Structure 1
Amino acid sequence: MSNLESLALYLMVSNHFMDERFIDGNDLKENIINHLPRLKKFAFNIHSRTFFLNEIYLPSNADIRNTFINFKDNQIVCSVDYSRREKVGQCHIYSLPYTILFYNNITNNFPGGLFKSVRQISLCDEHPFEHEFFIQIAEAFPYLKKLRLTNTQSQQHKHSQSSKDTKKKEYPIIKYSHLTELDLFLVHNDYIEQFLDLTKTYLSKNLKLSVEYKSLRLVTDNFTRETTRMNCSKINNIQFYDRISTIPEHFQMYFPRMKYRSLLSYFDINYSSR
């Protein structure tokens, strides 16, 4: 190993309650770099997560970034987040260029950038995701195929391009030209509307959607709402997180790409209760 000249390191680490530390530049220098005297190229992507009981000192982005001051010829990105409700912190450090196919646990503190290699992401936060955040996500991941979202907080700045209130700020429609899977897991209904309302988002065809049936029915106004009809017509595969017994007959018209004959087995529908 002492003759190693190139190293790519990818780690996900979860610490226990007794270790309230993130992996940072000091760890990489002391445990790796100092033991590899011939190392010329070092690429890394490390996501560390830890519980914390002491809130007096919580390392910031600047604190973590300062541990990389002496790194040579490397652009380093640091992103630190804390959930005081769950007493959990996470730190994502990586070198550029970013070459991995996924980018997980993105919060409102996402540092931005352009990630052409990424095909799969997950978004989660205990603070609301607003429309501007989703604009940033679409621009940062232009070839995104799979997106999973977890957020139970209502959006604070709702909008509609079809609103008659001319004083409201107009937002660009967000385009996900390559998206094939959309998983809306444990989300407030605002985010289902965010993705299905054509005045906010443009989705590609042949999309797989994972969502709760009761939430989908509410957002689409029992599968009659016009502003969500276009994006719903592009969905050809749905996975419901909750169990359902019946669906309205006009469901097929709202999701024309779904094969109606397969609904009985796919959705576990009990037609005898109709």
Structure 2
Amino acid sequence: MKHFDFDIYSFISMESQMSFLSQEDIQQTFKDFPCTKVISCVDYFHRKRKLGQCHVYSYPFLMKSYEYITNNFPGGYYPHVRIVYLYDEHPFEHEFFRQISLAFPLMSRLTLINDCSQNSKQTININQNFGIIRYYHLIELDIRRCRDDYTEEFLNRKTYLHNSISLHINVESFARITQNFTRNEIRINCSKVNEIFLYGENKYSIQSLQNYFPFAKID
């Protein structure tokens, strides 16, 4: 019995297409791989990118990175993946992030791009530990290119971050979710940041930022 391991991404401009392939169409092309489980994800981005993407891979997935994950993510268990990249033109809800944290238990780097507001805003009782999403191995988090909802998603008490995080963040977004540096409930996760990279127009004092990131080198 032979098993073929592969990981294939393909992209195509939607403006040049008259018809679009489905996930079932892609799966059908691998019908002659009886000894290999094949997973396919097909997404079309109509709003901004005018682009279609297809990701096809063998499972179990042995690669170190998994990119361009959308709400169409098929799930599964990916213990080899360390680098994760999330992008969609539809909102990522709180339960989606729970799915990601469970699917990639050893994820160390996470990048998120999404400018769609979440439909449901979760309020987590900090005494209900089952409601908190935990990232035990995350050491680098890039949330500079996303809606304020996601900045709050990762810095509020609904998320548990490991100590010594490197954080990439839009400073104006951070100022908004802290109500100009007056909210206290995100200080726990902020205190775990040891290096922060700021993007956008920084018209705020270093002292205001240092109050939230007391142990961080600010770049």
TM-score under structure 1 length normalisation: 0.74
Q: Give the structure 2 partner of residue 114 of structure 1.
A: 77
Equivalent AA in structure 2 for residue 205 of structure 1: N
- SS of corresponding position for 1:192: helix
Measured against aligned partners, the alpha-carbon deviations of 1:202-229 in whole angstroms (never above 9, x if no partner) come to 1111101101111111112223312211
Identity %: 43
Distance 1:223 1:235 in 2: 16
TM-score, structure 2 as length reference: 0.92
Q: CA deviation at 1:115?
A: 0.3
Aligned match of 2:152: 193
Q: Rate the CA distance shift 1:249–1:240 in 2: closer, same or farther, 3 A.
A: closer
Alpha-carbon separation, structure 2, partners of 1:117 and 1:61: 24
Q: Distance in 2 between matches of 1:128 and 1:245?
A: 29
SS at match of 1:240: strand
Who is 1:80 aligned against? Answer: 42
Flag structure 1 segments of 5+ consecutive residues without an equivalent: 1-38, 164-169, 267-274
2:57 is equivalent to residue 99 of structure 1: no
Structure 1 position 130 matched with structure 2 position 89 = no
Aligned to 1:141: 104
Matches within 5 A, 1:45-56: 45-53=7-15, 56=18
The separation in 1 between residues aligned to 2:145 and 2:72, in whole angstroms, is 20
**Which residue in the other structure is 2:198 paired with?**
240
Q: Which residue of 2 aligns with 1:204?
A: 162
**Match of 1:214, SS?**
helix
In structure 2, what is the equivalent of residue 220 of structure 1?
A: 178
Alignment: residue pair count: 216
> Which whole-Å CA distance do the structure 1 matches of 2:181 and 2:18 have between them?
50
1:230 matched residue in structure 2: 188
The alpha-carbon distance between structure 1 residues 250 and 113, as it changes in their structure 2 partners (threshold 3 A), is same
- RMSD over aligned CA atoms reads 2.1
